[in-house]
Structure 1
Amino acid sequence: MSDLDLLTQSLARNVRRWRTERGFTLDTLAARAGVSRGMLIQIEQARTNPSLGTVVKIGDALGVSVTTLLDYEQGPKVRVVPAEQVLRLWHTDAGSYSRLLVGTEAPGPLEMWDWRLMPGESSSSDPHPTGTVELLHVTAGELTLTVEGVEYRVPAGASAFFEAGAAHTYGNDGDVPTELVLAVSVPPVH
């Protein structure tokens, strides 16, 4: 993929993300930015390469920098926390302890799930509402987490965080059952 294609897709994803997080309709953002609704549609569908001036206007209207709008790293974020990086916050000499496996801000509904995937099986999920995040911790086996076509290996003892507003799949490519604890945080409805 060329640098221009990468920037065009990043801009599309980030404008859509920030517009949705701000609760703006296309018409609202168009009015705030002084850019036509048609131009915004083309930008959000990655069908055009707008001028820098247009990007600046959109950034100003959204309250974010041009760098943020063009940042290709702003896509679905995935952070795998290796077992050795889990934080033990409290412990006793007798062996009791609490461990912070992985965390993120959760302003809306939060669900916790218990999953078991048998060898060779997988479960796909459509994108959740923008702003939805998932936290997971693998207790047995190895999870193959796929987010927007990119695979991440999460072995037993490791945890991960990802933005679930993108298509994702939980899979077991191993030969033993995979077990994990999964938390889903959905943003509140405004």
Structure 2
Amino acid sequence: MKTKVNKLTETGSDIDYVSAAVSASVKSFRQQQKLSLDELSRRAGVSKGMLVEIEKGSANPSIAILCKVAAALGISVADIVNVTADPLAHLVAEEDIPVLWQGDKGGTARLLAGTQGPDMIELWRWKMFPGEQFASPGHPQRTYELLHVEQGELTLKVDEQQLQVPRGSSAVAKTAAPHSYANLGELPLIFTMAVAEIHS
């Protein structure tokens, strides 16, 4: 699918509208696999009501929900938002890079590019303003994240372990466990992140 995707935002309790392309992608992948909404709900651990709203284009799912739905369908989040690479090379234009999280102070998480699932690699760029944070309940087993801080300092927490990652430094995390990213400093935080999910 090569439908252009509008940018998404996640704004806490506010519900924004997910793009028609994302809703069409979820519905298309589900129908290709001949899955009912009930079965996808069971596999993903996401309510049937939420799936109905996603497919109608009237809900804006969080990154965590998109990850669960993608894993249940055996695809990547990049497949859902149409930033996967075709063989041998594929350009994702700047205006087609979706914003999948927006902090309450204007921070963003952009999915720059990704490979097709289920064994997938994604490249993200995060910007967080002081006081912003993002938490994830965890990804499937054998999910790894590689992070590099370009500006500011990242507070990375994985389960009970917490790391301070200053500018110019990198970190590696196994993120099947609950984890979070936060900017507890006084300057804007910018970091890039590669996510690898390995099933085979």
- TM (norm. structure 1) is 0.42
Between Structure 1 and Structure 2, the one with more helix by share is 1
Q: TM-score, normalised by structure 2?
A: 0.40
Higher relative contact order (CA 8 A, sep 6+): 1
Report the structure number with the largest CA radius of gyration.
Answer: 1
